[in-house]
Structure 1
Amino acid sequence: MRRYMILLMLCFASSYSYAQDTIAIKRDALKLMNALKQSDYATFADYTHPNVHNIMGGKEKMIEATKSAMDQAASKGMNFRAATLGAVGKFIPSGNEIYCTIPDTIVMNYEGGYADVPSTLLGISADQGKNWTFISTGTYPRETIIKFFPNLPKDIVIAPQGRIRVHKD
C-alpha cells in the first residue's frame, strides 16, 4: 500500500509540474504579446530573449528599433489589433535551458481591413520553467536560429511561418 501511495504521489507531482510549466510559459507569452499591443516596448524587451538584445546591439537599441518599426507601421495605417496563442508544444531540456514552442498569430489592422500572420514563438527558460523569454521564429530558417541558440534541441519542431491572410472589413 505504501509503495502504491508513493507511486501515486510521484505521478501526481509530475503531471502538476507539467501543468505549472504550461501555465508559466503561456503567462509569459501573453505578457510579451500584451506589451506589444500596449506599446510597452520595455516590457516587450524583458520577455524577449537576451540573444535578440545582443543581435540588435543591446536591450535599449532593441526597444528603440521596436518602437520605430511600430511607429512606421502606424504611419501607414497599420497597428496591432490582437494576438492569439496556440497549444504549448513539448518541453525539451538542452544544456541548462528548457525549450518549447507555441504557435501564435498576430493580427494587424490596416486601412480597409486586417491581416493575420501565423508564426511560432520559441520559448526558452534558464530557470527550470519558472520564467520564459521568447523569439519569434518568423521567417528564419532553422540554421539561422541555431546560430544564435546553439543548444537548440534537434527534436524541437519549429513550424515555418504560415501564409499571411488578408481580410477586408
Structure 2
Amino acid sequence: MRLYFKLIILLLFPATLFAQSTVTLKKQADIVAKAMVNGDCVTVLKYTHPKVLQFGGGKQKMLQMMNAGMAQIKAQGFSFQSATVGEPGKFYKAGTEIHCLVPDNIRIKTPNSSIVTHSNLLAISQDGGKNWTFLDLNKGTIASIPKLFPNFNKDLKIPEPTAPGLQ
C-alpha cells in the first residue's frame, strides 16, 4: 500500500510542478500585457530579459526609447486598447534556462479603426520557472535570437508573425 502511494506521488509530482510553472508564467505574462496597455514602461522593462536590456543599450536607454515611442503613438492618435495572453506552450530546456512561447493579442485604437496583432512572447526563466522574462517576437527580435540566446533549443519552433489586421 505504501509503495503504491509513493508511486502515485512520484508520478503526479512533476505534473504539479509543471502546472504551477504554467500558472506563474501566465500570471507574469498578464502583468506585462496590462503594463503595456497602461503605458507602464517600468513594469514592462522589469519583465524584460537582461540580455535584451543589454542588447538595447541598458535599462535607462530602453526606458527613454519606450517612453518616446509611447508619446509618439499617442501624438498620432493611437492608443493601446487591450492586450491578452493565451495559454503557454510547451517548455523547452535551453542551457540553464527554460523557454516557452506564449501567444499574445494586442488591439491598438487608431483615429478611424483598430489594429489587431497576433504574435508570441518568448518567455524565459533562469530559475526553474519561478520568475519569467519576456521578448516580443517580431521579425527583428526573431532574427536576434541566436545572438541573445546562444543555447536556444532548436526544437522550439517560432511561427512567423502575422500581419496586423484592421477592425
Q: In structure 2, how many angstroms separate the alpha carbons of the residues matched to 1:14 and 1:116?
A: 37
Question: Structure 1 residues 102, 110: closer, same or farther in 2, change over 3 A?
Answer: same
**Contact 1:137 1:145 (8 Å CA) reproduced:** no
Q: How far did residue 120 of structure 1 move?
A: 0.9
Aligned equivalent of 1:40 = 40
Equivalent in the alignment of 1:71: 71
Aligned to 2:163: 163
What is the rounded CA distance, in whole Å, between the counterparts of 1:159 and 1:23 in structure 2?
23
Shift of 1:142: 4.5
Within the alignment, does 1:87 sit opposite 2:87 as a pair?
Answer: yes
Aligned to 1:49: 49
Is the contact made by 2:121 and 2:136 (CA closer than 8 Å) also made in structure 1?
A: yes
Deviation of residue 10 (structure 1)? 1.4
Which secondary structure state, in structure 2, belongs to the residue aligned with residue 52 of structure 1? helix
Residue 14 of structure 2: aligned partner: 14
After superposition, the C-alpha distances for 1:55-90 in whole angstroms (9 at most, x for unaligned) are 111001111111111110111011111112122111
> Does structure 2 retain, via aligned residues, the 8 Å contact 1:32–1:48?
no
Match of 1:128 in 2: 128
Measure how far apart 1:2 and its partner are. 2.3
- Stretches of 4+ moved more than 6 A in 1? none
Are the structure 2 counterparts of residues 141 and 127 from structure 1 closer, same or farther at C-alpha, using a change threshold of 3 Å?
closer
- CA separation in 1, counterparts of 2:40 and 2:64? 11
Matches of residues 142-157 of structure 1 in structure 2 within 5 Å?
142-157=142-157
Q: Which amino acid aligns with 1:146?
A: P
1 CA distance for matches of 2:139 and 2:86? 18
1:108 maps to: 108
Distance 1:28 1:115 in 2: 24
Change (3 A) 1:122 1:87: same
Tell me the matched-pair count.
Answer: 167
What is the alpha-carbon root mean square deviation over aligned residues? 1.3
Does the CA-based 8 Å contact 1:122-1:135 persist in structure 2?
yes
Three-state SS of the structure 2 residue aligned to 1:162 is coil
Identical positions, percent: 36
Unaligned runs of 5+ in 2: none
State the Cα deviation string for residues 121-147 of structure 1 (Å, max 9, x = none).
000000100000000111237553112
Give secondary structure in 2 for the equivalent of 1:131.
coil
1:82-101 CA-to-partner distances (Å, cap 9, x unmatched) read 11212211111121111111
Could you state the TM-score of these two structures normalised by the residue count of structure 1?
0.94
